[in-house]
Structure 1
Amino acid sequence: MSESLEDRRKRMHIRAWRRGTKEMDLILGGYADQYLGQLDGADLELFDSLLGEDDHALYQWVTGQASAPVHYAALIAELSARQAGR
Protein backbone atom coordinates (compact mmCIF):
# COMPACT_ATOMS: atom_id res chain seq x y z
CA MET A 1 0.00 0.00 0.00
CA SER A 2 1.41 3.39 -0.90
CA GLU A 3 1.78 6.21 1.57
CA SER A 4 -0.63 9.14 1.23
CA LEU A 5 0.84 12.61 0.76
CA GLU A 6 -0.46 13.66 4.19
CA ASP A 7 1.06 10.59 5.88
CA ARG A 8 4.34 11.14 4.05
CA ARG A 9 4.55 14.73 5.23
CA LYS A 10 3.76 13.66 8.81
CA ARG A 11 6.49 11.00 8.67
CA MET A 12 8.99 13.47 7.25
CA HIS A 13 8.09 16.07 9.89
CA ILE A 14 8.77 13.56 12.66
CA ARG A 15 12.07 12.52 11.02
CA ALA A 16 13.11 16.16 10.70
CA TRP A 17 12.57 16.77 14.42
CA ARG A 18 13.93 13.45 15.72
CA ARG A 19 17.50 13.46 14.48
CA GLY A 20 20.65 12.21 16.15
CA THR A 21 21.79 15.69 17.17
CA LYS A 22 19.97 18.66 18.62
CA GLU A 23 21.56 20.97 16.03
CA MET A 24 20.06 19.01 13.15
CA ASP A 25 16.72 18.75 15.00
CA LEU A 26 16.57 22.53 15.01
CA ILE A 27 17.83 23.01 11.45
CA LEU A 28 15.72 20.36 9.71
CA GLY A 29 12.76 20.58 12.07
CA GLY A 30 12.55 24.33 11.70
CA TYR A 31 12.71 23.98 7.93
CA ALA A 32 9.99 21.31 8.00
CA ASP A 33 7.77 23.49 10.18
CA GLN A 34 7.99 26.34 7.71
CA TYR A 35 8.16 24.65 4.29
CA LEU A 36 7.12 20.99 4.37
CA GLY A 37 3.46 21.74 3.71
CA GLN A 38 4.41 23.63 0.55
CA LEU A 39 6.71 20.96 -0.92
CA ASP A 40 5.57 18.45 -3.46
CA GLY A 41 7.01 16.53 -6.37
CA ALA A 42 10.77 16.71 -6.79
CA ASP A 43 11.26 19.03 -3.79
CA LEU A 44 9.48 16.58 -1.50
CA GLU A 45 11.57 13.70 -2.87
CA LEU A 46 14.77 15.68 -2.34
CA PHE A 47 13.95 16.60 1.27
CA ASP A 48 12.92 13.01 2.01
CA SER A 49 16.24 11.82 0.59
CA LEU A 50 18.13 14.42 2.63
CA LEU A 51 16.47 13.11 5.80
CA GLY A 52 18.21 9.78 5.17
CA GLU A 53 21.67 11.35 5.31
CA ASP A 54 24.00 11.17 8.30
CA ASP A 55 23.62 14.06 10.77
CA HIS A 56 27.35 14.65 11.01
CA ALA A 57 27.66 15.05 7.23
CA LEU A 58 24.51 17.21 7.09
CA TYR A 59 25.83 19.54 9.76
CA GLN A 60 29.14 19.93 7.93
CA TRP A 61 27.31 20.71 4.68
CA VAL A 62 24.98 23.27 6.28
CA THR A 63 27.80 25.02 8.14
CA GLY A 64 30.12 25.04 5.12
CA GLN A 65 32.73 22.77 6.70
CA ALA A 66 32.33 20.35 3.77
CA SER A 67 30.83 20.55 0.31
CA ALA A 68 27.39 19.02 -0.15
CA PRO A 69 26.76 16.58 -2.98
CA VAL A 70 25.68 18.43 -6.12
CA HIS A 71 22.12 17.10 -6.03
CA TYR A 72 21.63 18.63 -2.54
CA ALA A 73 23.48 21.90 -3.21
CA ALA A 74 20.43 24.17 -3.62
CA LEU A 75 18.60 22.72 -0.60
CA ILE A 76 21.72 22.90 1.57
CA ALA A 77 22.24 26.52 0.47
CA GLU A 78 18.68 27.27 1.54
CA LEU A 79 19.18 25.59 4.92
CA SER A 80 22.48 27.45 5.39
CA ALA A 81 20.88 30.79 4.56
CA ARG A 82 18.11 30.13 7.10
CA GLN A 83 20.77 29.46 9.74
CA ALA A 84 22.68 32.61 8.88
CA GLY A 85 19.49 34.65 9.18
CA ARG A 86 18.77 33.51 12.73
Structure 2
Amino acid sequence: MPEALTLEGRMARAKFRSWHRGTREADYMIGGFYDRYGDSWTEIELLWFEALLDEDDVDVMAWALGTQPVPDRFAGEQMDLMKKLDYVDIPR
Protein backbone atom coordinates (compact mmCIF):
# COMPACT_ATOMS: atom_id res chain seq x y z
CA MET A 1 0.00 0.00 0.00
CA PRO A 2 1.45 3.42 -0.93
CA GLU A 3 2.59 5.71 1.83
CA ALA A 4 0.23 8.60 2.62
CA LEU A 5 1.30 11.95 1.24
CA THR A 6 2.25 14.75 3.58
CA LEU A 7 0.36 18.03 3.38
CA GLU A 8 3.23 19.46 1.34
CA GLY A 9 3.08 16.49 -1.02
CA ARG A 10 -0.67 16.86 -1.43
CA MET A 11 -0.27 20.58 -2.16
CA ALA A 12 2.43 19.87 -4.76
CA ARG A 13 0.23 17.25 -6.40
CA ALA A 14 -2.77 19.60 -6.39
CA LYS A 15 -0.68 22.36 -7.97
CA PHE A 16 0.57 20.03 -10.69
CA ARG A 17 -2.93 18.70 -11.40
CA SER A 18 -4.39 22.20 -11.47
CA TRP A 19 -1.89 23.37 -14.10
CA HIS A 20 -2.01 20.22 -16.26
CA ARG A 21 -5.69 19.93 -17.12
CA GLY A 22 -5.40 19.38 -20.85
CA THR A 23 -6.54 22.74 -22.15
CA ARG A 24 -4.95 26.13 -21.77
CA GLU A 25 -8.26 27.66 -20.64
CA ALA A 26 -8.72 25.14 -17.84
CA ASP A 27 -5.07 25.51 -16.80
CA TYR A 28 -5.46 29.28 -16.44
CA MET A 29 -8.73 29.00 -14.55
CA ILE A 30 -7.99 26.09 -12.22
CA GLY A 31 -4.23 26.64 -11.93
CA GLY A 32 -4.72 30.36 -11.43
CA PHE A 33 -7.22 29.67 -8.67
CA TYR A 34 -4.72 27.37 -6.95
CA ASP A 35 -1.93 29.95 -7.26
CA ARG A 36 -4.08 32.75 -5.81
CA TYR A 37 -5.62 30.87 -2.89
CA GLY A 38 -3.78 27.58 -2.28
CA ASP A 39 -1.23 28.89 0.22
CA SER A 40 -3.96 29.87 2.67
CA TRP A 41 -6.07 26.69 2.49
CA THR A 42 -7.01 24.66 5.50
CA GLU A 43 -7.24 20.87 5.34
CA ILE A 44 -10.98 21.15 4.57
CA GLU A 45 -10.37 23.60 1.73
CA LEU A 46 -7.64 21.40 0.28
CA LEU A 47 -9.99 18.40 0.41
CA TRP A 48 -12.60 20.46 -1.47
CA PHE A 49 -10.05 21.38 -4.15
CA GLU A 50 -8.78 17.81 -4.47
CA ALA A 51 -12.37 16.67 -5.07
CA LEU A 52 -12.84 19.48 -7.61
CA LEU A 53 -9.76 18.27 -9.49
CA ASP A 54 -11.50 14.92 -10.01
CA GLU A 55 -14.34 16.62 -11.90
CA ASP A 56 -14.45 17.25 -15.64
CA ASP A 57 -12.92 20.59 -16.66
CA VAL A 58 -15.97 21.48 -18.72
CA ASP A 59 -18.14 21.21 -15.62
CA VAL A 60 -15.76 23.10 -13.33
CA MET A 61 -15.46 25.91 -15.84
CA ALA A 62 -19.24 26.06 -16.34
CA TRP A 63 -19.77 26.30 -12.57
CA ALA A 64 -17.18 29.08 -12.29
CA LEU A 65 -18.66 30.95 -15.24
CA GLY A 66 -22.21 30.49 -13.94
CA THR A 67 -23.47 28.68 -17.03
CA GLN A 68 -24.38 25.55 -15.03
CA PRO A 69 -25.64 25.26 -11.46
CA VAL A 70 -23.00 24.33 -8.90
CA PRO A 71 -23.60 20.94 -7.24
CA ASP A 72 -24.26 21.23 -3.51
CA ARG A 73 -21.00 19.46 -2.65
CA PHE A 74 -19.02 22.26 -4.33
CA ALA A 75 -21.21 25.23 -3.42
CA GLY A 76 -19.92 27.67 -0.83
CA GLU A 77 -17.18 30.17 -0.14
CA GLN A 78 -14.49 28.56 -2.29
CA MET A 79 -16.76 28.33 -5.32
CA ASP A 80 -17.81 31.93 -4.73
CA LEU A 81 -14.12 32.89 -4.92
CA MET A 82 -13.69 30.81 -8.05
CA LYS A 83 -16.65 32.58 -9.69
CA LYS A 84 -14.91 35.96 -9.31
CA LEU A 85 -12.36 34.93 -11.97
CA ASP A 86 -10.09 37.76 -10.78
CA TYR A 87 -7.21 35.29 -10.42
CA VAL A 88 -7.04 34.39 -14.13
CA ASP A 89 -3.83 35.86 -15.54
CA ILE A 90 -3.57 35.23 -19.24
CA PRO A 91 -0.11 35.99 -20.62
CA ARG A 92 -0.08 38.19 -23.70
Give the equivalent residue in structure 2 for 1:53.
Answer: 55
Give the equivalent residue in structure 1 for 2:31.
Answer: 29
Instruction: Answer yes or no: is the 8 Å Cα contact 2:33–2:87 preserved in 1.
Output: no
**RMSD (Å) for aligned C-alpha atoms:** 1.6
Bigger radius of gyration: 2
- Structure 2 unpaired stretches of 5+: none
1:84 offset after TM fit, Å? 5.5
Instruction: Answer yes or no: is the 8 Å Cα contact 2:19–2:30 preserved in 1.
Output: yes
Instruction: Answer yes or no: is the 8 Å Cα contact 2:18–2:53 preserved in 1.
Output: yes
Name the count of aligned residue pairs: 85
Q: In the aligned structure 1, how far is the partner of 2:75 from the partner of 2:46?
A: 15
1:32 offset after TM fit, Å? 1.0
Q: RCO higher in 1 or 2 (8 Å CA, sep ≥ 6)? A: 2
Q: Which has the higher helix share?
A: 1
Q: Which runs of 4+ in 1 moved over 6 A?
A: none
